[in-house]
Chains A and B, each alone.
Chain A
Amino acid sequence: MKNGHFQTRIRGIYKYISENLYLNRPDITIKDESFNSTLLFGLLTGLNRGKELIIGEPGLGKTTSAEYVGSILYRYPLGVIWGSEVSGHPEQTEEKIIGRPHLGELNKGRERVVWSNFAQIPVKIVDEINRLPETKQSMILNGVDRGNWEYLNEILINDEYSLFATANYQDRGTNTIIAPLIDRFDILVESRHPGSNIAYTIGKEALSHNPLRHPQYEKELQQILRGDNSYEEKMALAEGVCDLFGEYLKEKLGIEGLSKEERRKINEERMGLDFDIDANAFVRMTLAELSFCHKFGQKRSVEVCEDGCHYTGYLCHHTKNCASNRLPMSIRNYAQTLAWFLEDDGVDLEHIRLIIPYALAHRIQWKDSYLSKKEGEGRNDPFQIYLVKEATEEILQRYNEQREYLLEALSVGYRAVAGEAITPLEGDHPIYEEIKKDIGAKDEKSL
């Protein structure tokens, strides 16, 4: 996908933020290029309308990285982004997050909803999401998942949005993020400490005036968002001000954000990128290990398999829960966006290998025995990302060992589903059992 025009602009944004606003070390490498994972995944999230959970110690730039990416990519002045952020705390209410009744209209006996800025603008940031009590986390489930915000009898549907949420590590003030909410996040990244030398520079070069602020456009956007127009009209007006802010960014900082139309085009381009046969088969193999159970038919968090199963060596034996259908969607979206960003012709194994750990880390529930076995191992990543990186490498090794045979088995699967009388291939991996189930060669009831 070598059109290069948009990609150059995105690389310009990455360079500007990494050199001026979010100083950090590169911590991931793909195709001989090194990137900082927080910044790269932030940009990918903004480009593919994704949902990203950023974890890390307090003060290491979780929220600010998201604010900068959202502000430049969507061309909203920083003041508007700040004004639309939702803070997670126990006293947070639906009225502050989503919307409230218009009190004047209510006095006249009419119901009208005043939508929050958070519900309206496409860059949504939830700060310290795990400080929201579990009951209140449920309030934002639908909005996080589909961009549907409901209040009273009204509904606001975002046609485009990206969500960034930050979470501190567990302390006395935090709650567990409920399983349905955590599964709705596509990606988990850690905003890491930049190292003493870069940290020293951050303190030294702290700016008195943030270059992404623009009080005049911020005021204009606030007025538009507070106005009485319909949501669609407001968004059209807001885009006009965003255009002006985009011009300002280009002129003053030399960076170009993306208009709504450009973001739509990019999405179209990246969705046109196909998975090559290895990327396709590798994702299937990973999903098989995460969802298969020899004894109970599939993984269920309430059913624990015992030791001594034939598949003890596979990932399914170390995990409690089953991979949700959101996982392959997240992998697909982010791998396509990464391939697009790198100007590759399609999604290959390298893209998948990079994406899977970040798409899986927050979704997987490991068995306690496995956690105790691995927790003492030396590592650079947070424990949950480290475990999945290790697991991904293990699966990749199995894939490389069995590649030719697996492709043959999948090809036989195609012929069997197409109606040919053919015997499925036997193999020592859950994927072969899954193929047999799909072609009806394995009677599940007999188990």
Chain B
Amino acid sequence: MKNPFEAFHQAGIRKREIPLDKILKSKEETLTKILSGYEDLLKNEAKDLVWLMQYSTVIKAYSIAEKGMEGLEYTAEDIEEFCYALDHSDQIPYLITGPAGVYISVLCNHAKEEEICLHLRDLNVKINLLGYRLPSNKKLIVEGNVGDFTGIGLDGGELIIEGSGKNYTGAGMKRGKIVIRHNLGFNTGHGMTGGELIVGGRIKGLGKIVGGKVYERDQLIFPTEGIKPLYV
């Protein structure tokens, strides 16, 4: 008699692959590459788990991160996945918010999408340096609170924070727009030379501003009669 199970000769070793499996696999591969780039950055820049926030270190970290992700194909969703991996995953040996922020900024600045929305409300840590050097063709929306040095060196892009930021937001920004829905800390706009910084809530303190405009609760607070740009 013919074997009635002939069709299942190889069935036990074949697994069904549905389109979702392929999508998940590709997502996983992308995330692994992004994580590996971040780990390389840490190895180079934070050998002793210490990262000093200095002008030169940020520039160096940015260029290392740029090199690390050359040729990498990813989407805005992958950036968000990376943020959550930073917060939850045991794949990341350590989270240092400075390099992490520089790395995320590089990812955002080089993403294909012109508009990127990161849903970071559930994140336990507040990432620093988000929106660093955001170029003029990009719009970055962050849902949730962010850390220090948000939007520094902004280069024409539009950064919207649906939450609060901390100190040195918009420091050194050249052009573009930063919108903060809630509050900001000290030294806001320190060294900024252009662009607009619009804050829906309160600002604890402004830094030494060179140029541009700062609004607090719809009121222009820089430049005003009392506070003039440094160069005037």
Given A408-B11, A411-B11, A417 contacting B16 (CB threshold 8 A): no
Chain B contacts for A438, CB-based, 8 A: 4-5
Which of A278, A407, A435, A438 has the most chain B CB within a 10 Å cutoff?
A407
Interface size range on B against A: 10 to 19
Given A417-B5, A438-B4, A411 contacting B12 (CB threshold 8 A): yes
Query: Are the C-beta atoms of B6 and A414 separated by less than 8 Å?
Result: yes
Query: Are the C-beta atoms of A277 and B12 separated by less than 8 Å?
Result: no
Query: Are the C-beta atoms of B3 and A407 separated by less than 8 Å?
Result: no
Chain A contacts for B22, CB-based, 8 A: none
Query: Are the C-beta atoms of B15 and A411 separated by less than 8 Å?
Result: no
Task: Select A410's contact among B5, B13, B15, B16, beta carbons within 8 Å.
Answer: B5
Chain A contacts for B11, CB-based, 8 A: 277, 281, 407-408, 410-411, 414
Give the CA-CA distance A403 to B11 in the complex, in Å: 11
Contact with B along A408-422 (1 / 0, CB 8 A): 101111100110000
The residues of B with any CB-CB pair to A shorter than 8 Å are 3-16
Chain B contacts for A408, CB-based, 8 A: 11-12
Question: Can you list 28 pairs linking A and B with CB atoms under 8 Å apart?
Answer: A275-B7, A277-B7, A277-B11, A278-B16, A404-B16, A407-B11, A408-B11, A408-B12, A410-B8, A410-B11, A410-B12, A411-B5, A411-B8, A411-B9, A411-B10, A411-B11, A411-B13, A412-B12, A413-B4, A413-B5, A413-B8, A414-B5, A414-B6, A414-B11, A417-B4, A417-B5, A435-B5, A438-B4
The reply to whether the CB of A280 lies closer than 8 angstroms to some CB of chain B is yes
Give the CA-CA distance A278 to B7 in the complex, in Å: 10
Query: Are the C-beta atoms of B15 and A414 separated by less than 8 Å?
Result: no
Query: Are the C-beta atoms of A407 and B7 separated by less than 8 Å?
Result: no
Task: Name A385-425 residues within 8 Å CB distance of B.
Answer: 403-404, 407-408, 410-414, 417-418
Query: Are the C-beta atoms of B8 and A277 separated by less than 8 Å?
Result: yes
Extra contacts, 10 of them, besides A275-B7, A277-B7, A280-B8 (Cβ < 8 A), are A407-B8, A410-B5, A411-B9, A411-B10, A411-B12, A412-B12, A413-B8, A414-B9, A417-B4, A438-B5
Chain B contacts for A275, CB-based, 8 A: 7
Interface size on A, residues (CB 8 A): 18
**A374 → B minimal CB distance (Å):** 32
Contact with B along A265-282 (1 / 0, CB 8 A): 000000000010110110
Task: Select B3's contact among A277, A278, A417, A435, beta carbons within 8 Å.
Answer: A417
Query: Are the C-beta atoms of A281 and B8 separated by less than 8 Å?
Result: yes
Give the CA-CA distance A361 to B16 in the complex, in Å: 30
Give the CA-CA distance A438 to B11 in the complex, in Å: 18
Chain B contacts for A281, CB-based, 8 A: 8, 11
**A304 → B minimal CB distance (Å):** 29
Chain B contacts for A435, CB-based, 8 A: 5
Chain B contacts for A417, CB-based, 8 A: 3-5
Report, nearest first, the 10 A-B pairs whose CB atoms are least far apart: A411-B12, A414-B5, A410-B8, A407-B11, A413-B5, A411-B11, A408-B12, A417-B3, A411-B8, A280-B7
Chain A contacts for B4, CB-based, 8 A: 413, 417, 438
Query: Are the C-beta atoms of A414 and B16 separated by less than 8 Å?
Result: no
Chain B contacts for A413, CB-based, 8 A: 4-5, 8
Task: Name A9-32 residues within 8 Å CB distance of B.
Answer: none
Give the CA-CA distance A275 to B4 in the complex, in Å: 14
Contact with B along A54-91 (1 / 0, CB 8 A): 00000000000000000000000000000000000000
Give the CA-CA distance A411 to B3 in the complex, in Å: 11
**B211 → A minimal CB distance (Å):** 57
Chain B contacts for A410, CB-based, 8 A: 5, 8, 11-12
Give the CA-CA distance A403 to B14 in the complex, in Å: 11
Chain B contacts for A280, CB-based, 8 A: 7-8
Query: Are the C-beta atoms of B5 and A277 separated by less than 8 Å?
Result: no
Chain A contacts for B3, CB-based, 8 A: 414, 417-418
Give the CA-CA distance A411 to B13 in the complex, in Å: 9
Give the CA-CA distance A410 to B3 in the complex, in Å: 11
Chain B contacts for A277, CB-based, 8 A: 7-8, 11, 14
Give the CA-CA distance A281 to B16 in the complex, in Å: 13
Chain A contacts for B15, CB-based, 8 A: 404
**B88 → A minimal CB distance (Å):** 29
Give the residue name and chain of the B residue nearest to A413 (CB): B5
Give the CA-CA distance A412 to B7 in the complex, in Å: 12
Chain A contacts for B10, CB-based, 8 A: 411
Give the CA-CA distance A277 to B16 in the complex, in Å: 10
**B146 → A minimal CB distance (Å):** 43
Query: Are the C-beta atoms of A407 and B5 separated by less than 8 Å?
Result: no
Give the CA-CA distance A417 to B9 in the complex, in Å: 11
Give the CA-CA distance A410 to B16 in the complex, in Å: 15
Give the CA-CA distance A85 to B8 in the complex, in Å: 46
Give the residue name and chain of the B residue nearest to A407 (CB): B11
Give the residue name and chain of the A residue nearest to B3 (CB): A417
Give the CA-CA distance A418 to B5 in the complex, in Å: 9
Give the CA-CA distance A407 to B16 in the complex, in Å: 10
